[in-house]
Amino acid sequence: MKKLKENQLGPWCGFCAPKTTRATHRENGARGMFCCQNHRQELKDHEREIGQREERYTEADHQTWGSL
C-alpha cells in the first residue's frame, strides 16, 4: 500500500458505498484499488488475499508449466 502525496487528488475510495470520499492510499501493483483513511485495513486485507491467491501452485499449473 502506498500513500498518495498531499498534492495528488486521488480517485474515489473503492470501499465506501456511495462514492463520496476521496482516496488517500493506493494498492501496490497494477490493479489500482484505492481507499480512504478509514478503509486502510480493508485494503491491507485485500492485498494479503491477492498475494496468497497468487502463491498457490495448482495441479493445472503443474501440468502446464511443470514439464517446461
What does the pLDDT read at residue 41?
A: 94
Chain-wide mean pLDDT for the chain?
84
What does the pLDDT read at residue 67?
A: 66
Provide the pLDDT confidence category of residue 6 given band limits of 50, 70 and 90: confident
User: Residue range 42-68: average pLDDT?
Assistant: 82
Q: Which three cell numbers stand for residue 31?
A: 490493479
Question: What are the residue ranges spanned by the domains of the chain?
Answer: 2-56
Taking the alpha carbons of 7, 13, 18, 19 in that order, is the dihedral positive or negative? positive
pLDDT at residue 56 tops 90: no
pLDDT at residue 39 tops 70: yes
Whole-angstrom Cα distance, residue 52 to residue 25?
A: 21
